[in-house]
Amino acid sequence: MKMREFRVTRNYLDYPPGSALLEMGNTRVICTAFYEEGIPAFLQNSMVAEGWLTAEYNMIPAATLTRGKRERLSGRSFEIQRLIGRALRAVVDRNEFPGYTVYVDCDVIQADGGTRTAAINGSCIAIYDAFQKMIAAGLITTNPLREWVAAISVGIVENELILDLSYDQDSRAQVDMNVVMTEQGKFVEIQGTAEREPFTDNDLQKMLMKAKQAIAKIIYLQKKSVDLI
Amino acid sequence: MKMREFRVTRNYLDYPPGSALLEMGNTRVICTAFYEEGIPAFLQNSMVAEGWLTAEYNMIPAATLTRGKRERLSGRSFEIQRLIGRALRAVVDRNEFPGYTVYVDCDVIQADGGTRTAAINGSCIAIYDAFQKMIAAGLITTNPLREWVAAISVGIVENELILDLSYDQDSRAQVDMNVVMTEQGKFVEIQGTAEREPFTDNDLQKMLMKAKQAIAKIIYLQKKSVDLI
Amino acid sequence: MKMREFRVTRNYLDYPPGSALLEMGNTRVICTAFYEEGIPAFLQNSMVAEGWLTAEYNMIPAATLTRGKRERLSGRSFEIQRLIGRALRAVVDRNEFPGYTVYVDCDVIQADGGTRTAAINGSCIAIYDAFQKMIAAGLITTNPLREWVAAISVGIVENELILDLSYDQDSRAQVDMNVVMTEQGKFVEIQGTAEREPFTDNDLQKMLMKAKQAIAKIIYLQKKSVDLI
Amino acid sequence: MKMREFRVTRNYLDYPPGSALLEMGNTRVICTAFYEEGIPAFLQNSMVAEGWLTAEYNMIPAATLTRGKRERLSGRSFEIQRLIGRALRAVVDRNEFPGYTVYVDCDVIQADGGTRTAAINGSCIAIYDAFQKMIAAGLITTNPLREWVAAISVGIVENELILDLSYDQDSRAQVDMNVVMTEQGKFVEIQGTAEREPFTDNDLQKMLMKAKQAIAKIIYLQKKSVDLI
Amino acid sequence: MKMREFRVTRNYLDYPPGSALLEMGNTRVICTAFYEEGIPAFLQNSMVAEGWLTAEYNMIPAATLTRGKRERLSGRSFEIQRLIGRALRAVVDRNEFPGYTVYVDCDVIQADGGTRTAAINGSCIAIYDAFQKMIAAGLITTNPLREWVAAISVGIVENELILDLSYDQDSRAQVDMNVVMTEQGKFVEIQGTAEREPFTDNDLQKMLMKAKQAIAKIIYLQKKSVDLI
Amino acid sequence: MKMREFRVTRNYLDYPPGSALLEMGNTRVICTAFYEEGIPAFLQNSMVAEGWLTAEYNMIPAATLTRGKRERLSGRSFEIQRLIGRALRAVVDRNEFPGYTVYVDCDVIQADGGTRTAAINGSCIAIYDAFQKMIAAGLITTNPLREWVAAISVGIVENELILDLSYDQDSRAQVDMNVVMTEQGKFVEIQGTAEREPFTDNDLQKMLMKAKQAIAKIIYLQKKSVDLI
């Protein structure tokens, strides 16, 4: 019951100010962050000077076992990219980059379960680096990432607790849970779904415990990848 | 810290075999269920004879304080209708209505927070009645609803635990959680989101407790509305 | 040969400044009116200070005997909402609310024929009330509704003249006519269609006579619903 | 108060079995008719063997004084193509071409008012010829066009009755009416709209009279164009 | 091995400042040019004052042997309209109409091969005339068309060199090439495609030679059509 | 005047039967090939048993210097994917994989000019491998790739002949030409565009010569990457 192998290739692409190839097992996601001047209309009348951060998520057709269709945007993708955006906004101080929007893109090139958690894990690295570039460019003074955030899936497959489910495990899971937590061990998001059978409070507590341990490990690896540790 | 007033108008519409107007405070949702012969393509090669259940969710433009746009389908609506479908599928035995699809529609006519939970609460009544009509029509023999399911929101607003959040409370909430549970007290879905500040494990446990109590009460009211109690 | 039962529930919703549930027989339409500052681009260069009024029409999927599809906007809906907008604009003085747009929404929750006429009848009540709210808010000084407008369908079914056709009658009609008239007995819109057989001038005159009587009655009921009579 | 010059160029295109360029004043519409085997799904379970006829209407961008946008299909176009289809279906005997669908296309290449009436007038010629080709091909035995149909606009501009309104007249009209009638003087469709001021019964009767005379003349010209007179 | 008959009807439509019906054999294309104030956003920060020219291409459904569908915009149409735009921009001096956009529309009303080349040939006439109207209106001083441009298709069908391929020839061609050249015999665009078998360098040279001769002839006919010769 | 560095990572992804990461300079494209049973409708009535091959092309938003938009499918992408499909179909014997469709996907993850040529070069490797897998699976007996195909861009920048243009060179080019050739030195596709100034026949001949040499080299590298050399 261990997390799959976790690998980061920082600065994976040349053009975005922050980018990482994030791999968890066979799942591979290109995570990037661009900053641009300007904020969305709904923030423009805000009293406080704020920045914004938004995320998009997509899969290439060749990412899956049988070729996927290039769709405009499925309900599933919408749900995931909203989750990524919320998770990252929970740990950045938007007052620290007023007038700028950070665009995060998560493009899955290989999908073997846990693409949304890999996307969050890689995006946090990408935005850290993009913010560092903003500092280097004299646009902001301190990195607005208040604390690191990471995500992991945990589930119950054939009555056994499993961490970081592969696609095959996920499709057989009774319960599937995604947990997003911060460096300080607080929750940003919990999404647990009974795929077949409703689950008990006891199951829930065990899954949360496992997730907590894994997230601490991931945050260690994220920070190491950007030479903070 | 009580749930808002909960009202059911059973058989609200004339044409759908199951329908209910479900009100929680000022939130009002028309929930309906139609059955049709036929199942989606992805089930047709299944070994086991199964039925299917799917849900759609929408708001009329006049449902909100400032008029909404008639959009094709926003990311938010997609997310909600997927949740409703999952919640209901978790408590129906799909082997009990093989070859049929149940279409659930949740049309919000007034939105004051908690529209997704109201939609689940009303839909469960609508499908119960639609299944009863299938029995009356000789299409199935027992009601496939294995146990009742209900949903409630719970959150922390200004450091206080609040149940069944109104729109105004929701927009000020630090944490917002939707819990879907069954009659037997098991979880079907947990979705907790830190809107501003990450939340602690202690907060989580308190919110789950409150939700559990409220759901027991809602299920009592659902069953009473269809004369099962 | 009488009109079906006509019922108004004024102020049906809490948020729109004007709203009514309008029922004619089993047909039920939620009609609402919001006002917003701003006018469409094509009016902005006008010499005269004018307001604008526009309407949208939609059906919820559960409104019909067999469940309808949530479509973006069918040709039929387009046609109907253009008709509603024209009918209302014919009786409001747009110079009396310069710089404002009134958005009318007609959401059919149950459809048993005559939804477009019910929509016009209910919308006229909704805009009257919305304009009263504008007066109360000090935005305008007199109600821009110059005279009331109402609509009715009339047709020939099995060689018999029928008023306010139900869905079943409408589908068997040889001729189907919608008439929109003002309080003073003038025509705003006439739309007569030979569904099967072309119709004679004599048929036309008889249908117009019947429509005229019914519209006088509806306008009486509209005004009574807002306490003007 | 005369109709504008009316010109037909029969067999305007090489490929469709029926086609005509129909000109009324400066308005020019290419009207064509193709037949294809197959009928829409909603007719396939019909007891009676029937054919179907459907119409589409569009404008090229260069048809208007200021260049139009190539839109998918505006509300206005939807409304017009539904009218054209209904008008033609009212005069064809669909039992006479069972199993076939006739596709009518009306492409406006120059628009100076009255494009929908020109489209109906030209399409009736195109379907007559397409049906003749079906006879020649041995697919049917008699021409299903039971009687000819034609359309004209009539309106009141500066208190004067005007026939076949140009774009400029139409935009200044108080009332604008489109009348579709058959060879035998019966109505197929009446659509009268008060553009500014509601109109009286007396106005209506005068407009219908004028329209009747013009339609008789158009039907004479249609029949002459295909050598029936 | 000759070009099909080439016909120009200048000023084919009344409203666009430049228009021509261009026919090559049975292929017929309405080509028009409108000018409007304003330039696209991507040019607005340019150092140099420039104008813009863009083209759209479409077919009416009745243009082909079997009726086509009214699609939004197929990949094929996109490709063709980009080609038309590039070809025309290569011979106009955009500094000569700063602040204006020329909109070219090519609407194919009959398609028998070579619609893209006919579209280029007719559009060059339409823009010449539209620019003359701009001079007449005092908006510009000299015609920005630096030299004329024309296009022709050439191919190998059953091992024989064919100029200006008809639809039937095109569908049997081994190689199909479109050549766009200027009055001075320079290339603007070469697009050669091996439809079945790759082709040799020798084939290429022979096709280019033939195309060159035809283009000189077309440019002669274009200039004659506008009385420059 | 040399080609940029050319690198192949064969079997870049785990799921597609053929895949390669193709890099030319800083341009990086993931090229994949899946085979599926079934052929498009337009081939199903063909006399001869054939297979089909189709291609799709897309860029991730982070591929370019400034973040791109996730569009459905731009005109440019349509044009490129049609080119890729034609180029590959020209060198495969479709009678050798009857009843199967090969889906090629080219996803650009970094774009520094020449993405369409890199896509063709990588796709040819991907389909070779996918066909080898089909042989291994006993579905076909010989590899349908009759000869290898490759593509290169060549242009004139500041009067100098340049091979394999980078984005920066491409945006400054007077002429830009893409050449697709086979192993035997025959042309599959030539697309030459005068970006600013029309070009002479002499320019054309020099560009073709350069392209021919580069393509021979690329085909050597392609075959080496799959151990055929």
| β-pairing verdict for F18-24 and C100-110 | unpaired
Above 80 in pLDDT, residue D70?
no
Tens digit of pLDDT for each residue in E186-216?
A: 999 999 999 778 999 999 999 999 999 999 9
- Kindly report the nearest CA distance between residue E43 and chain F, in angstroms: 15
**F53: number of CA atoms within 13 Å, CB side?**
27
- Kindly report the nearest CA distance between residue C35 and chain B, in angstroms: 9
> How far apart, in whole angstroms, are the C-alpha atoms of residue F133 and residue F35?
10
Q: Does C32 lie at the interface with B, CB-CB under 8 angstroms?
A: yes
Of A19, A26, A62, the CB nearest to F32: A62
Q: Does A60 lie at the interface with F, CB-CB under 8 angstroms?
A: yes
DSSP state of D92: B
Chain F CB contacts of E194 below 8 Å: 90, 186-189
- Kindly report the nearest CA distance between residue B157 and chain A, in angstroms: 16
> How far apart, in whole angstroms, are the C-alpha atoms of residue B34 and residue A39?
44
> Which residues have C-beta within 8 Å of that of residue F45, sequence separation ≥ 6?
none
**pLDDT at residue number F76:** 85
**D121: number of CA atoms within 13 Å, CB side?**
36
Mean pLDDT over residues C40-69, rounded? 88
pTM of the model: 0.87
Locate F169 and state its tokens: 């060179």
Chain E CB contacts of D65 below 8 Å: 15
**pLDDT at residue number D175:** 93
Confidence of residue A78 (pLDDT cuts 50, 70, 90): confident
Q: Which chain D residue shows the shortest CA-CA distance from C183?
A: D198
Tens digit of pLDDT for each residue in E131-168?
A: 999 999 999 999 999 999 999 999 999 999 999 999 99
**pLDDT at residue number F23:** 98
Confidence of residue A73 (pLDDT cuts 50, 70, 90): low
Confidence of residue B72 (pLDDT cuts 50, 70, 90): low
Q: In chain F, pLDDT over 70 holds for what percent of residues?
A: 98
- Name which of E73, E79, E176 to mutate to probe chain F: the one with the most chain F Cβ atoms within 10 A of its Cβ: E79
Least confident of B70-84, D133-147, E113-127: B70-84
**pLDDT at residue number F72:** 57
- Chain B, chain C: beta-carbon pairs less than 8 Å apart: 80
Chain F CB contacts of E75 below 8 Å: 73, 75, 78-79, 81-82
Tens digit of pLDDT for each residue in E35-54?
A: 999 999 888 877 778 999 99
Mean pLDDT over residues D131-153, rounded? 97
Q: Does C76 lie at the interface with B, CB-CB under 8 angstroms?
A: no
- CB B198 to CB A192 under 8 A? no
Of D16, D73, D109, the CB nearest to E30: D109
Above 80 in pLDDT, residue F45?
no
Count of residues for chain F? 229
Q: Which amino acid is at E95?
A: N
| Residue reference for tokens 């208190």 | D159
- Kindly report the nearest CA distance between residue F87 and chain A, in angstroms: 21
What DSSP string runs through chain E? Answer: --PPPEEEEET-SSSSSEEEEEEETTEEEEEEEEEEE---GGGTT-SS---EEEEEEEE-GGGSSSPPP--S--HHHHHHHHHHHHHHHTTB-GGGSTTEEEEEEEEEEE-SS-HHHHHHHHHHHHHHHHHHHHHHTTS-SS--B-S-EEEEEEEEETTEEEES--HHHHHH-SEEEEEEEETTS-EEEEEEEESSS-B-HHHHHHHHHHHHHHHHHHHHHHHHHTT--
E strand or H helix at A68 = none
Q: Does A127 lie at the interface with B, CB-CB under 8 angstroms?
A: no
A146 closest CA partner among A53, A19, A55, A48: A53
- CB B62 to CB C15 under 8 A? yes
**Would you tell me the crossing angle of helices A201-225 and A115-136 to the nearest 10 degrees?**
40
- Name which of B187, B202, B206, B208 to mutate to probe chain A: the one with the most chain A Cβ atoms within 10 A of its Cβ: B187
**Contact between C102 and C144 (Cβ < 8 Å):** no
Chain E CB contacts of D56 below 8 Å: 61, 70
Ranges of H-type helices in chain C: 75-89, 115-136, 167-172, 201-225
> Which residues have C-beta within 8 Å of that of residue C181, sequence separation ≥ 6?
C149, C150, C151, C187, C188, C211, C212, C215, D198
Q: Is the ipTM of this complex over 0.85?
A: yes
Chain C CB contacts of D91 below 8 Å: 198
Q: Does A194 lie at the interface with B, CB-CB under 8 angstroms?
A: yes
- Kindly report the nearest CA distance between residue F11 and chain A, in angstroms: 12
Q: In chain E, pLDDT over 90 holds for what percent of residues?
A: 86
- CB D62 to CB E109 under 8 A? no
Above 90 in pLDDT, residue C41?
no
Above 80 in pLDDT, residue B185?
yes
Superfamily grouping for domain A6-225: GHMP Kinase, N-terminal domain (3.30.230.70)
Above 70 in pLDDT, residue C226?
yes
- Long-range own/partner contacts, residues E152-156 (CB < 8 A, 24 or more apart): E152/E3, E152/E114, E152/E117, E152/E178, E152/E179, E152/E211, E152/E214, E152/E215, E152/E218, E153/E113, E153/E114, E153/E117, E153/E177, E153/E178, E153/E179, E154/E179, E154/E207, E154/E210, E154/E211, E154/E214, E155/E207, E156/E199, E156/E203, E156/E207
Of C81, C194, C204, the CB nearest to D90: C194
- Kindly report the nearest CA distance between residue F76 and chain E, in angstroms: 8
Mean pLDDT over residues A36-63, rounded? 90
Of A32, A62, A70, the CB nearest to F30: A62
**pLDDT at residue number C46:** 73
Q: Which amino acid is at B26?
A: N
- CB E187 to CB F201 under 8 A? yes
Q: Which chain C residue shows the shortest CA-CA distance from D90?
A: C196
Higher pLDDT, C99 or D195: C99
Confidence of residue F68 (pLDDT cuts 50, 70, 90): confident
Chain F CB contacts of A119 below 8 Å: none
> How far apart, in whole angstroms, are the C-alpha atoms of residue E33 and residue E43?
20
Chain E CB contacts of D34 below 8 Å: 62, 66-67
Above 60 in pLDDT, residue D72?
no
Tens digit of pLDDT for each residue in B135-164?
A: 999 999 999 999 999 999 999 999 999 999
**Contact between E150 and E120 (Cβ < 8 Å):** yes
**pLDDT at residue number F73:** 61
Above 70 in pLDDT, residue F61?
yes
**Contact between B188 and B87 (Cβ < 8 Å):** yes
Q: Which chain F residue shows the shortest CA-CA distance from E77?
A: F75
Confidence of residue B75 (pLDDT cuts 50, 70, 90): confident
Chain D CB contacts of E72 below 8 Å: 72
Above 80 in pLDDT, residue E185?
yes
Spatial strand order of the sheet with F27-37 comes to F6-10, F18-24, F27-37, F100-110, F52-59
Tens digit of pLDDT for each residue in F165-221?
A: 999 999 999 999 999 999 999 999 999 999 778 999 999 999 999 999 999 999 999
Of F56, F61, F72, the CB nearest to A56: F61
Tens digit of pLDDT for each residue in D79-92?
A: 899 999 999 999 99
Mean pLDDT over residues A102-114, rounded? 97
Higher pLDDT, E55 or C46: E55
**pLDDT at residue number A35:** 97
- CB F198 to CB E81 under 8 A? no
Above 70 in pLDDT, residue B82?
yes
Confidence of residue A71 (pLDDT cuts 50, 70, 90): low
End-to-end CA distance of chain E, in Å?
26
Tens digit of pLDDT for each residue in F109-134?
A: 999 999 999 999 999 999 999 999 99
**pLDDT at residue number F85:** 96
